[in-house]
Amino acid sequence: MKRSWIAVGLWMVGHSQVHAEQLNVLIGPPSLGQGGSNPVSIPPFNPVDWQLTYVTEEQHEWVVSLVPGLLFGQRFTYENLYAALGAGLLVTSSGLGLGVNHAYGYESKPFLGKFRYQIEYRQVIGVGRYGWQFPYSFRMGVSYAL
Amino acid sequence: MFRSLFAGGLAIALVGILGPDAEAQIRLQAGESMLEQGDFLLAPGVQLSLGLADGSRYRLDFSGRRFGSFLESTTMISRDETLKIFPWPEVSARYGVTLLDAYTSYKPQQGKAEEVHDFNLGLSLGLGYRLWQGQDWAINAEWNSQIFAAGFAFLVLTTARKTVFTLGAEVSL
């Protein structure tokens, strides 16, 4: 347990692997607690399908989406894969809540200079006014190195 | 056909476990779990797993209930491996594949009984935390998710997900 806290301290002072600052734009239908996810909107104008993520050079991520919500976390990378742990405000058909989240994703090699293809699974466990909530999303998109 | 697929998956798992490449040290885990199937409802279940020294693991998740003339159960067999992505030894990330059998039967007191098995193959993604570790024993908390493509609707990214939260005791042999 002591080693864990030391490791947490290290990444909080910026010891984590340095990567370029990036913006992720992902699309995919979330699950709101009514079974699985619905099909993605066609044309893709439904804002619930979209997710924007800003990732700092220290691999801190800020997630903005209607579902699962507004989240902050830390990314960890292994080759083209990444994992994220975080927490924030979650949004589902049951209303607002607070929760923790984790995500797993894949990023391709760069194309057209600063773009990468990206696929991500993100889920939240949280609690709101009506009890436990477990929204998730499976999204695809691109990341752009800023 | 689906029964054959299920039996095939079991056979693959057993060959992997008992085959000549299997390491001598194994880890057995048994735990209580809660299963969520996309509806925000938690159903009690059990989990059994067998881990090999190379980091691979075979896991059985089961949850079921009977209500009236209906019996429904969810059985998942997964094979996953550890991805060394987190800087803390207590926290683990796992990835693998899952074979699902969602079973429902209806046996009325009068009339024809019916039953259906729905099989699917999905992706398993897990997050684990070692709460306590002794010489041969450990207590683990896990958050495993199984994601399944919803048939051809996966072309529009439609998925189903089953999440299992487990508190398990592990012994190394």
Q: What is this model's ipTM? A: 0.81
Contact residues, chain B, for A81 at CB < 8 Å: 83, 85
Pick A138's closest partner by Cβ from B95, B157, B165: B157
**Measured distance between the N- and C-terminal CA atoms of chain A, rounded to whole angstroms:** 36
- Per-residue pLDDT tens digits for A95-134: 889 999 999 999 999 999 899 999 999 999 999 888 899 9
Q: Give the pair of three-digit tokens for residue A19.
A: 């990567």
**E-state strands within chain B:** 26-36, 42-52, 57-67, 70-83, 91-106, 114-133, 137-149, 159-172
pLDDT of res. B1: 44
Contact residues, chain B, for A10 at CB < 8 Å: 87
- Per-residue pLDDT tens digits for B40-62: 889 999 999 999 988 899 999 99
Q: Give the pair of three-digit tokens for residue A137.
A: 């999303």
* Phi, psi (deg, nearest 5) at residue B153: -65, -10
Contact residues, chain B, for A8 at CB < 8 Å: 88
What chain A residue is nearest to B149 in terms of C-alpha separation? A36
Closest CA to A57 of A89, A11, A101: A11
Q: What is the pTM of this model?
A: 0.83
Q: Does A51 touch chain B (CB under 8 A)?
A: no
Q: Which of A2-11, B35-44, B147-156 has the highest mean pLDDT?
A: B35-44
Q: Residue B39 in contact with residue A93, Cβ under 8 Å?
A: no
A-B CB pairs within 8 A amount to 95
Please answer yes or no on whether A39 and B156 come within 8 Å at the CB atom.
yes
Please answer yes or no on whether B163 and A123 come within 8 Å at the CB atom.
yes
Give the rounded distance of the alpha carbon of A71 from its chain centre.
7
- Per-residue pLDDT tens digits for A43-90: 889 999 999 999 999 999 999 999 899 999 999 999 999 999 999 999
Q: Does A45 touch chain B (CB under 8 A)?
A: no
Alpha carbon of B105: minimum distance to chain A alpha carbons (Å): 20
* Phi, psi (deg, nearest 5) at residue B86: -95, 145
List, as one string, the DSSP characters of A37-98. PPPPPSSS--GGGEEEEEE-TT-EEEEEESSSEEEEEEEEEETTEEEEEEEEEEEETTEEEE
pLDDT of res. A2: 56
